[in-house]
Structure 1
Amino acid sequence: MTKTVLITGASSGIGRASARLFQSEGFNVIATMRDPRAAGELNELPNVHVTRLDLEDETSIEAAIATGIQRFGKIDVLINNAGYGLYGIFESIPKDRLMQQFAVNVFGVMNATRAILPHFRANGSGTIVNVSSGAGHFTLPMISAYCASKFALEGFSEALAYELQAVNIGVKLVIPHGGVGETAFQQRAAQDFANENTPEAYLPFLNRSVETFARLGGALTMTSADVAKVVHGAATDGTDRLRYFVGDETSGWLKARRELSEDDYIAYMRANFA
C-alpha cells in the first residue's frame, strides 16, 4: 500500500523540498502550513493534500490529521519540520517573543506528536522525524532562544524515542548544521538585529557578531533539497537510528564540540566572536 506522510511547515524551505521529494518517491503527502495560499505548485501535484496547520493552534493540528486520514486512510510518517529562529541580544527580546519561540519550536512539536500517537498506536507502527539543528548541539550568540528551543527538542526526542520503541513507533532527528543556503538564516539574523532595541553597551559585540554571521553566510552550500534527502532517508531506512547529521562534519562548530576539550571548545567559540 502507498504510504502517507504529514509534513509541517511545507510552504517553504526544507518542508517544501521534502513534500516534493516524498511525492516523487510515491508517497501520499499531507502538506501543511499556516496559510495554504502559500502552497503554490504543491496544489498541482498528484497525491498531495494541502491543508492548514498552525503549531500554535491545537485545533488546527487535530483537524489536519483528521482530514489527512480521511483523504488517504492512514498516516505512516509525521515530519515535524515547522519552526523558526528568534534573533537578537537576549536582554532586548520581549518575553512574549521568547514564549512564542518555545510555543512553535517545542510545544508545537509536542502537540503534533501527541495528536498523531493514538493513530500510530492503532496502526501498530509509525515514524516521527523531528527536524532539529546544529544549534541543539552547540550554541551561538544572538540566537540564545533558538538554541534553547533546539536543545529542548533534542532532549525531548531522545527521551521520547525510548518510550515509543515499546509500541513500535520510531523517532528520528535530522540535524542540519553549518547553515542552509536559501533559508536566509544569516540575512534574517542581520535584519532582526537592526530592529531590536539593543542597549548601547552591546553594540560593539553585536556588530562584530553580525559581521561573523554575514561572512559565514557567503560560504553556505547546503540546500533545502540536500536536507530533504536525509529526511526521506531517515523516514524510510527501516533502522532504529536516532540522529542524522546533515553538513560538513570535517570542520566547523560541530567538529569543535565533538573533538575539543571543554575549555578548548569554549575558548575556540569565544574567539569566533571576539
Structure 2
Amino acid sequence: MNKTIFITGASSGIGQATAQYFETQGWNVVATMRSPEKQNVLKNSERMLLLKLDIEHPETFNNVIETAIERFGRIDVLLNNAGYGQHGLFEATTSEQIQRQFSVNLFGTMEITRALLPYFRAQKSGNIITITSGVGRVTVPLVSIYAASKFALEGFFESLSFELASQNIKVKIIEPGNIATNFEQTTKSNFATDENLTDYSDYLKKMDEVFKGIYSGGGSTANDVAATIFNAANDESHVLRYVIGSDLQPLIDIRNGGTDESYMNVLRNTFTPNDLAP
C-alpha cells in the first residue's frame, strides 16, 4: 500500500509544492485548504484528494480525516503547513490580529495534531512534520507576533516529540529561511501600521532598505522545502530539526555556538542602525 501524507494549507506555496512532489514520488496526497474549488494547480486524481479544511474550525477535523482514511486506508504523515505571517510594528498590531495569528499558526496546528493522534496510535506509527520558520529560532524586527507563534510551535513540538516517541510517532520540524514564494507579498498586504506612530518612521524606512537587501539575495524555493519534507518523512532517525537555506544556518550556528551576547551583537549590527540612535 502506498503511503499517505495529509497536508494543511496546500492551496499555494510550500503546501502546494509538497503535494505535487509527494504525488510524483508515488505517495497518496490529501491536500487540504479553505477553498479547494478555487484550486487550479492541484487536481483530484487516483493519488490526490483535495478536501476543504479551515485550520480555525477544529470541529470539522474528524470528518475530513475520516474521509481521507476512507479513500486511502491510512495516513502516515501529517504536514502542518497552514499559517501566515502577521508582520508590522507591535504597537500598531491590534489584539484581534494577535489572536488570529495564534489561532491559525499555533492553536489550529495543535488541534489538527491532536485530531490525528488517535489514528497514529492505533496504527502504532506516524510522522508529524511541522513548518515553522527561521524566525522561530533567529528572529528579526517587525515580526514579533509571527515570531512568537513560531517560537511557540518550536517549543510545543520539541516537548511533544518525547511524549510521542513512546507511541512510535515521530516529530519533525522544518525551518525555512528566505523562501521564494508569495509569502512576502501576502505579508505586506496585512502589515500592521499606524499613521500616528511617526516616531518609527525613520526606522521603518531603514528596515525597508535592509529587508530589500536580504530578499534580493535570493533564497531556497518551495520545491527545495518539499524535497526536505520528503527526506524528513522517510528519515528513520530521531533528527528533530531540518534547516533550509544558506542564509539561516550561519545565524543558528552563531546562536548555538557562542554566547547570547555575541549572537545579539551580530543582529544588532544589522537591525539597530547607529545612525538612528537618539
Q: TM-score range by the shorter chain?
A: over 0.9
Task: State the Cα distance separating 1:190 from its structure 2 match.
Answer: 4.6
Q: Which runs of 5 or more residues in structure 1 are unaligned?
A: none
TM-score by length of 1: 0.94
State the SS of the aligned residue for 2:96. helix
CA distance in 2, matches of 1:183, 1:49: 24
Q: TM-score, normalised by structure 2?
A: 0.92
Residues 169 and 227 (structure 1), Cα distance of their counterparts in 2 relative to 1, 3 Å cut: same
Q: What's the secondary structure of 2:105's corresponding residue?
A: helix
**2:84–2:187 contact (8 Å) kept in structure 1:** no
Matching residue of 1:206: 204
CA 1:136–1:25 in 2, change beyond 3 Å: closer, same or farther? same
SS at structure 2 position matched to 1:43: coil
Report the equivalent of 2:125.
Answer: 125
Asked whether 1:83 is paired with 2:83, we answer yes
- C-alpha distance in 1 between matches for 2:228 and 2:216: 23
Per the alignment, residue 173 of structure 2 pairs with 173
Q: For residues 174-208 of structure 1, what are the alpha-carbon distances to aligned partners after superposition, in whole Å with 9 as ceiling and x for unaligned? A: 1112x1012342x4455544x62151111111111
Amino acid of the structure 2 residue aligned with 1:226:
D
Aligned to 1:27: 27
Deviations 1:200-252 (A, max 9, x none): 11111111111111111111231000000000110112222111111116865
Which residue in 2 is equivalent to 1:270?
268
2:33, 2:52 within 8 Å by CA — same for their partners in 1?
yes
Three-state SS of the structure 2 residue aligned to 1:46 is coil
With over 3 angstroms needed to count, the CA separation of the structure-2 counterparts of 1:7 and 1:138, relative to structure 1, is: same
Residue identity opposite 2:193 in structure 1:
E
- Partner of 2:214: helix, strand, or coil? helix
Q: What residue number does 2:234 align with?
A: 236
Q: Aligned Cα RMSD in Å? A: 1.7
Indicate the percent of aligned positions where both proteins have the same amino acid.
41
When residues 53 and 124 of structure 1 are mapped into structure 2, their CA distance, relative to the original with a 3 A threshold, is same
Query: Residue 246 of structure 1 corresponds to which residue in structure 2?
Result: 244
Structure 1 pair 184–118 and aligned structure 2 pair: CA distance change class (3 A): closer
Runs of 4+ in 1 over 6 A off after TM superposition: none
- Equivalent AA in structure 1 for residue 9 of structure 2: G
CA distance in 2, matches of 1:80, 1:6: 9
- The residue identity in structure 1 corresponding to 2:266 is Y
The residue identity in structure 1 corresponding to 2:137 is: H
Partner of 1:175: helix, strand, or coil?
A: strand
Question: Which residue does the alignment assign to 2:182?
Answer: 183
Name the counterpart of 1:219: 217
Alignment length (residue pairs): 271
SS at match of 2:11: coil
Q: Write the distance in 2 (CA, Å) between the matches of 1:197 and 1:67.
A: 45
* 3-state SS, counterpart of residue 79 of structure 1: strand
Match of 2:193 in 1: 196
> In the aligned structure 1, how far is the partner of 2:19 from the partner of 2:268?
39
CA distance in 2, matches of 1:250, 1:51: 33
CA separation in 2, counterparts of 1:264 and 1:254? 12
The DSSP-based 3-state class of the residue aligned with 1:172 is strand
Q: Is the 8 A contact 1:190 1:210 kept in 2?
A: no
Q: Which amino acid in the other structure matches residue 48 of structure 2?
A: V
Distance 1:244 1:184 in 2: 20
User: Equivalent residue of 1:256, what SS?
Assistant: helix
CA distance in 2, matches of 1:249, 1:215: 12
Contact 2:219 2:247 in 1 (8 A): no
Q: Give the aligned partner of residue 96 of structure 2.
A: 96
Q: Which runs of 5+ in 2 are unaligned?
A: 274-278
Question: Which whole-Å CA distance do the structure 2 matches of 1:211 and 1:260 have between them?
Answer: 28
What is the alpha-carbon distance in structure 1 between the residues aligned to residue 123 and residue 79 of structure 2? Answer: 17
Match of 2:60 in 1: 60
- Provide the C-alpha distance between the structure 1 equivalents of 2:64 and 2:8, rounded to a whole number of angstroms: 10
